[in-house]
Amino acid sequence: MAVGIFDSGLGGLTVLNAAQNRLPDVEFLYYGDNARAPYGVRDAEDVYQLTKAAVEDMWSKGCDLVILACNTASAAALRRLQENGLPEGKRVLGVFVPLIEALTERQWGDNSPPREVAVKHVALFATPATVASRAFQRELAFRAIGVDVEAQSCGGIVDAIEEGDFVLAEAMVRSHVDALLRKMPKPEAAILGCTHYPLMADAFQAALGEHVKVFSQGDLVAESLADYLERHPEMLGQGRGGYFTTGDPDRVSSRATQFLRREMRFEAA
């Protein structure tokens, strides 16, 4: 067994890298649905069916715990997967909760009524599908009141990153930040609501300005996972991890090596 990390493509590598650094003794199985990426332009039903198929494949490969590192999958599929019932001993977690815990400075297990928090104006940068789902706003409302969230649908950034065109990706970041600032001139915090976006974190920070606190998911999810595994050691999993893709293993291996600046070898899922 191993802890599974799923993403529609390469963005989840930002979560994988942080998780491996935080939990060096844990085996991880990374699964990228690169053949069908990006998910951010698909409708909710399509995302659900693709995510369900990938998670079931990861279970068959020995994962008991799967992290949906893909924000679009977390937004469109996580709640439905959980509500439809998971096999005994299997768990699926998303990436919104650690972000909201950090933003509101309260633990998810704190079930007291929503209350005011320090941050009042939040910019959310996400894929079109995540923005359309309003999942982040819905989950945030369970914990906080009085927070104005302005969402910016960031079409094209994921495609540019997947193609390795970081010059184009940076130009798109500036364009999307400019569009957001026209709607919300003075955000106090910004959420990078796609696991691809931390690869462009410096570009987001530069375009937003140093006064805006940028929340990126990798380290937050890794710390939350460490806490979860400490409370649920039976989900830890031992044995073979690895890197799997529905796309071309050689091409994905080359891109992943470029992104993380360390050798990565993918095999066919």
d(CA 26, CA 237): 8
What does the pLDDT read at residue 236? 79
Rg (CA), the chain: 18
What is the reported pLDDT for 239?
63
Q: For residue 45, how many C-alpha atoms fall within 13 Å in the half-sphere facing its CB?
A: 0
DSSP assignment letter at 109: T
Phi, psi of 115, rounded to the nearest 5 degrees: -140, 165
Return the pLDDT at 104: 87
Q: Which of 58, 70, 131, 203 is catalytic?
A: 70
Distance CA 46, CA 52 (A): 10
**8 A C-beta contact, residue 111 and residue 104:** no
| Angle, helix 13-22 to helix 217-231, in steps of 10 degrees | 50
> Among residues 194, 208, 221, 256, which one is catalytic?
194
Residue 70 annotated in active site: yes
- What's the pLDDT at 237? 64
- Residue 25's SS3 state is coil
Q: Using CA atoms, how far apart are residues 197 and 199, in angstroms rounded to an integer?
A: 5
Eight-class DSSP state of 77: I
Classified as helix, coil or strand, 92 is strand
Q: How many Å apart are CA 68 and CA 70, to the nearest integer?
A: 5
Q: How far apart are CA 155 and CA 153, in angstroms?
A: 6
Walk along the chain (269 residues) and give the pLDDT tens digit of each residue. 799 999 999 999 999 999 999 999 999 999 999 999 999 989 999 999 999 999 999 999 999 999 999 999 999 999 999 999 999 999 999 998 888 888 888 776 677 888 899 999 999 999 999 999 999 999 899 889 999 999 999 999 999 988 889 999 999 999 999 999 999 999 999 999 998 899 899 999 999 999 999 998 899 999 999 999 999 998 876 668 999 999 999 999 999 999 898 999 999 99
What is the 3-state secondary structure of 89-128? CCEEECCHHHHHHHHHCCCCCCCCCCEECCCCEEEEEECH
Q: Which residue has the tokens 């893709």?
A: 245
CA angle 96, 248, 153 (to 5 degrees): 35
154 is catalytic: no
